[in-house]
Amino acid sequence: MLSRTIARALSKALINAAPRTAPLATALTIPSAHILTSHYRAYANKASRTEGEAEPIIPTDATASPLSQTEAEATTDAPPQDAAAAATTEEAPRPRSSAGGRGAGSDGLPRSAYISSTDRRRNAMAKYSGYAVLLGMIGGTLYLGRGLDESEKRMHPTIGDGWDDFFTRVKARSNDFLDFYNEPPFEKLLPDPMPEYGRPYTLVLSFEDFMIHSSWSREHGWRTAKRPGLDYFLAYLFQYYEIIVFTNQPEATAAPLLQKVDQQPGYIMFPLFRVHTRYVDGKYVKDLNYLNRDLSKVIMIETNPDAWSANPDNTIKLPPWKGDPKDRDLVALIPFLEYMAAMGVPDVRPIIKDFDGTHIPTEFARREELIREQLRKELGQKKGKKKGPPAWALELLGMKPREEKDEDVKTFMDLARERGQQNYRETQRHLVEHKDELLKEQQQAEREMAEQMKTSLSKIFTEVSFDVRRAA
């Protein structure tokens, strides 16, 4: 009796909860007998647990089979759900978007409806900026392609003013603009040579990986090493050459190191830095044509192939120095450089080309020995000894034989080398004796230069302020 009452109540409740739009027959068929039996058995099982008695389960439908105790417990543990909602979910199809267009959301709105006002402004700004850049490029091209004025015609005499040369004018003006940054600041990087200086040859030295080497380590950080024999190299060749140091490093980085390398008395005549190089295809080229010197008497020692690309015939090409403290190649190069300056060769380029691809100190020593051997043959001498009567013959005559000395023939280069070493010793002695005087002169010259710069700056500001007051 109780089960029938519960079944009728559940049926009535489900019928009232059915959608009003659905037919009555559909609403009546939604709660099947099995669903009602499941709810009733869950209730009966709960009641039996509470009272501690096993009440028999009476199905409400004659066709439903009774559930076992395990199935009843599993059904009780599952949370009850609305049968009408479940049936509606299973039977009702998923609604489709009424928009049906590309980029539309599930609610039928276009994708642009989900863009915020900030994104709209950003997109508009990007679009207008692109238009402005495009118009600027078009206007700039038209401006660069305009007719040439008088000064530009002198620079580009082969370019006309017609439309056929429009893009030629654009390219020429673009190159002129870039040359301001890619070319050296002056057509003559060095002042005119002084005849009284007495050094017709110019020696251009690389700085990094030739005179010094910088390395970094976690323990010590950045450290810079000076090449062995560099002081003697500069001091000895100073009597033959005008020494220039040319580096592709910025002046702010290289100038302090260069000042430490050449402190006293200043063997380096002129330093040149990155600003004085040419920038070609991403490379810094040391173009000797801008030095204002006769290239037939200019020698450059370089370790970077990009740097010598403009003047390979004037370059002694050496491998980079990596900081070896036992290196002797720098001092071994002195005899070759001394030979060209002492011999007064009219053009150094053929000689440099003849030694290209060899280890110059070794090859030059070999050739010098061949010349010495030839001179010995011409004088009828053997190496290290002179011809004369034998010692036993002098003893028979009662004469004391002369002690043989290890003397050898001397070439012109041997004599020039002795003279150069004597000049070097005298110069060093003079520097040691007058070190304080030379230091005071150098400091005085630096102060005068600083005062001159200060006067020039004050004069500039004074003229500018005067012009402003006069205009007012």
pLDDT score of 411: 83
| Residue predicted with more confidence, 21 or 305 | 305
Q: Is residue 337 part of a domain?
A: yes
pLDDT at 62 over 50: no
Q: Is residue 22 part of a domain?
A: yes
Residue 470 burial class via C-beta count within 10 angstroms: exposed 0-12, middle 13-18, buried 19 and up: exposed
Separation between Cα atoms, residue 37 and residue 31, nearest integer Å:
10
Q: Is residue 115 part of a domain?
A: no
Q: Are residues 168 and 313 in the same domain?
A: no
Max CA pair span of the chain? 168
The DSSP code for 79 is P
Are 284 and 274 a contacting pair, CB within 8 Å?
yes
Nearest to 320 by CA among 461, 193, 210: 210
Separation between Cα atoms, residue 107 and residue 395, nearest integer Å:
132
Greatest mean pLDDT among 26-30, 57-61, 403-407, 437-441 lies in 437-441
Q: Are residues 332 and 441 in the same domain?
A: no
Q: Are residues 328 and 211 in the same domain?
A: yes
Nearest to 287 by CA among 251, 271, 311: 311
Separation between Cα atoms, residue 310 and residue 327, nearest integer Å:
29
Query: How many beta carbons lie within 10 A of that of residue 10, not counting itself?
Result: 18
Q: Is residue 121 part of a domain?
A: no
For the residues 16-25, what does the mean pLDDT come to? 46
Q: Are residues 411 and 432 in the same domain?
A: no
Amino acid 199 reads R
Are 227 and 330 a contacting pair, CB within 8 Å?
yes
Position 27 confidence tier, pLDDT thresholds 50, 70, 90 = very low
Min mean pLDDT across 13-17, 81-85, 128-132, 313-317 is at: 81-85
For residue 193, the number of C-alpha atoms closer than 13 Å in the C-beta half-sphere is 18
Nearest to 268 by CA among 330, 332, 204: 204
Separation between Cα atoms, residue 90 and residue 30, nearest integer Å:
12
Q: Residue 309: CB partners within 8 Å, gap ≥ 6?
A: 280, 283, 285
Are 142 and 169 a contacting pair, CB within 8 Å?
no
What is the domain count for the chain? Answer: 4
Q: Are residues 410 and 311 in the same domain?
A: yes
Query: How many beta carbons lie within 10 A of that of residue 123, not counting itself?
Result: 11
Q: Is residue 330 part of a domain?
A: yes
Position 14 confidence tier, pLDDT thresholds 50, 70, 90 = low
Are 297 and 463 a contacting pair, CB within 8 Å?
no
CATH number, domain with residue 319: 3.40.50.1000
Are 61 and 38 a contacting pair, CB within 8 Å?
no
The share of the chain scoring above pLDDT 90, in percent, equals: 39
Per DSSP, which regions of 273-314 are E strands? 278-280, 283-285, 298-302
Nearest to 404 by CA among 425, 418, 390: 390
Q: Are residues 155 and 265 in the same domain?
A: no
pLDDT score of 20: 47
Q: Are residues 378 and 284 in the same domain?
A: yes
Min mean pLDDT across 58-67, 148-157, 248-257, 269-278 is at: 58-67
The share of the chain scoring above pLDDT 70, in percent, equals: 67
pLDDT at 106 over 80: no
Q: Is residue 338 part of a domain?
A: yes
At 227-247, the pLDDT tens digits run: 999 999 999 999 999 999 999
Q: Is residue 72 part of a domain?
A: yes
Which of 182, 211, 243 is at the close of a domain?
182
Which of 182, 209, 241 is at the close of a domain?
182
Position 397 confidence tier, pLDDT thresholds 50, 70, 90 = low
Q: What mean pLDDT, rounded, does the chain reach?
A: 77
| Residue predicted with more confidence, 306 or 67 | 306
For residue 81, the enclosing domain spans 2-88
For the residues 310-321, what does the mean pLDDT come to? 94
Which of 120, 151, 182 is at the close of a domain?
182
Q: Is residue 398 part of a domain?
A: no
Are 356 and 313 a contacting pair, CB within 8 Å?
no
Q: Are residues 177 and 208 in the same domain?
A: no
For the residues 434-452, what does the mean pLDDT come to? 79
Position 22 confidence tier, pLDDT thresholds 50, 70, 90 = very low
Tokens read off for 348: 């150094």
Separation between Cα atoms, residue 205 and residue 303, nearest integer Å:
10
Q: Are residues 278 and 371 in the same domain?
A: yes
Q: Are residues 206 and 320 in the same domain?
A: yes
pLDDT at 318 over 60: yes
Beta pairing class for 315-317 and 212-217: unpaired
Vertex 414 angle, CA 428 and 230, to 5° = 40
Q: Are residues 279 and 158 in the same domain?
A: no
Q: Are residues 250 and 201 in the same domain?
A: yes
